[in-house]
């Protein structure tokens, strides 16, 4: 099958998501809003009004909002339109928590990336199957020496995944973030959640996204970590 003239077809077409829109913004004329949708519209309008009123106000004088971003593999990309809507409203969270892909996206948000920047970066690294395959393969093969020493494992290294899918100059420590971040992972031995909010950032994220059987467990801070979505 030939590729289109303008390049390979996107694997995940994020360009179609309209920035800052909600389900309440465009309702077909022939359809009426349900009572639940009406309540949602009132809430969205109220938040937008407050966002405009408090534009330019400091976090100390404005409302304090904490945001929790859940897992869900590729479905976690739906966090991005929500972040764009928050940007449109002029609302910045006081604290962010995330588990699995929510930890990965939340770390970018906490590092200061806007919803638009998160969208563009996601489209860049997840745009085509070829891009994804190249990045995943590069995380497995770290030179001929590593291949001869370790062979090819069927499990991916989540630490290399974090390195491959985060932008350049990404923070290395929680203290480098602009918004406090809490990353949820699962302790494989006790099967309880572990929450990180200080120290090295990348291994905490790697532990949070390490889906059992697909990724190798991550050893960090005396824990053997797997995907945070296992327990939360």
Q: Please state which of the four CATH numbers 3.40.50.620, 3.50.30.10, 3.40.1090.10, 2.70.98.90 is assigned to the domain occupying 64-139+155-230.
A: 3.40.1090.10
Q: How confident is the model at residue 158 (pLDDT cuts 50, 70, 90)?
A: confident
- Which of 120 and 157 is assigned the larger pLDDT? 120
- Which of 149 and 205 is assigned the larger pLDDT? 205
Q: How confident is the model at residue 161 (pLDDT cuts 50, 70, 90)?
A: confident
pLDDT score recorded for residue 51: 58
Contact 219, 225 (CB under 8 A): yes
**Averaged over 40-62, what is the pLDDT?**
59
- Is the confidence at residue 54, as pLDDT, over 80? no
- Which of 198 and 167 is assigned the larger pLDDT? 198
pLDDT score recorded for residue 130: 60
Angle among Cα 79, 117, 182 to the nearest 5 degrees reads: 50
Boundaries of every domain in the chain: 64-139+155-230
pLDDT score recorded for residue 75: 78
- The average confidence (pLDDT) of the chain is 77
- Is the confidence at residue 79, as pLDDT, over 70? yes
pLDDT score recorded for residue 17: 46
pLDDT tens-digit series, residues 130-146: 666 666 656 555 554 55
Q: What is the pTM of this model?
A: 0.66
- Is the confidence at residue 231, as pLDDT, over 70? yes
Q: How confident is the model at residue 28 (pLDDT cuts 50, 70, 90)?
A: very low
User: b/e string for 36-69 if b means 16 or more Cβ within 10 A?
Assistant: eeeeebeebeebbeebeeeeeeeeeebeeeebeb
Q: Please report which residue ranges of 54-201 form alpha helices under DSSP H.
A: 79-89, 101-110, 115-126, 129-140, 143-150, 158-165
Percent of the residues in the chain that have a pLDDT greater than 70, as a whole number: 64
């Amino acid at each position: 099958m030939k590729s289109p003239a303008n390049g390979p077809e996107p694997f995940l077409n994020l360009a179609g998501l309209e920035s800052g829109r909600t389900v309440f913004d465009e309702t077909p004329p022939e359809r009426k809003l349900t009572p639940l949708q009406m309540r949602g519209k009132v809430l969205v309008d109220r938040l937008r009004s407050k966002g405009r009123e408090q534009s330019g106000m400091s976090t100390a004088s404005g409302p304090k909002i904490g945001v929790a971003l859940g897992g869900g593999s590729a479905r976690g990309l739906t966090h991005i339109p929500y972040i764009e809507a928050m940007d449109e409203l002029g609302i910045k969270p006081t604290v962010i928590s995330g588990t699995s892909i929510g930890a990965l996206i939340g770390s970018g948000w906490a590092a200061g990336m806007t919803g638009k920047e998160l969208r563009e970066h996601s489209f860049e690294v997840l745009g085509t199957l070829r891009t994804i395959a190249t990045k995943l393969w590069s995380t497995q093969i770290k030179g001929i020496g590593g291949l001869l020493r370790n062979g090819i494992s069927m499990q991916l290294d989540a630490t290399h995944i974090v390195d491959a899918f985060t932008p350049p100059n990404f923070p290395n420590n929680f203290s480098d973030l602009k918004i406090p971040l809490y990353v949820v992972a699962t302790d494989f031995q006790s099967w309880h959640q572990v929450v990180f909010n200080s120290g090295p950032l990348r291994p905490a994220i790697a532990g949070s996204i390490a889906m059992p059987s697909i990724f190798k467990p991550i050893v960090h801070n005396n824990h053997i970590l797997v995907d945070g979505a296992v327990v939360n």
